[in-house]
Amino acid sequence: MEAIKIFLAYAAHKSFTVFQMDMKTTFLHGLLKEDVYECQPEGFINADHPSHVYKLKKVLYGSKQAPRVWYDELSTFLLQNHFFKGTIDPMLFLRCFDNDILVVQVYVDDIIFGSTHP
């Protein structure tokens, strides 16, 4: 949260136009890079195989892997589009265009971004 405050202070100092967005189903679309297994949930236990587990194909909302998968996908996208990752804050991304700058700050599934030239 401190990073957001610093971002907003910098944006005000540089007279950035600032936008914000919340990614609604962020944690439901990422693909897992490792095998993750879940027990059968109550009410959905297979009577013939009550001790079986499910191998997940995608992350589940609330799983500990979900935020990392989301960050990896977003980070990869931004880096492929010529952004630089902050050295102190890996959730901060920068892209320069001649005399203009675009700054993207990520906080969980919220993104705030600002630019000298919207």
Residue 41 in this model has a pLDDT that exceeds 90: no
Residue 118 in this model has a pLDDT that exceeds 80: no
In the block, tokens 């880096």 appear at: 79
Two tokens at 5?
A: 């405050």
Residue 52 contacts residue 44 (beta carbons within 8 Å): no
pLDDT-derived band at 103, boundaries 50, 70, 90:
very high
How many Å apart are CA 7 and CA 13, to the nearest integer? Answer: 10
Q: Is 108 left (phi over 0), alpha (psi -120 to 50) or beta?
A: left
Residue 65 contacts residue 59 (beta carbons within 8 Å): yes
Give percent above pLDDT 70 in the chain. 100
Q: What are phi and psi of 31, to 5 degrees?
A: -90, 140
Residue 30 contacts residue 73 (beta carbons within 8 Å): yes
19-41 average pLDDT score: 86
- The SS3 call for residue 110 is strand
pLDDT at 64: 84
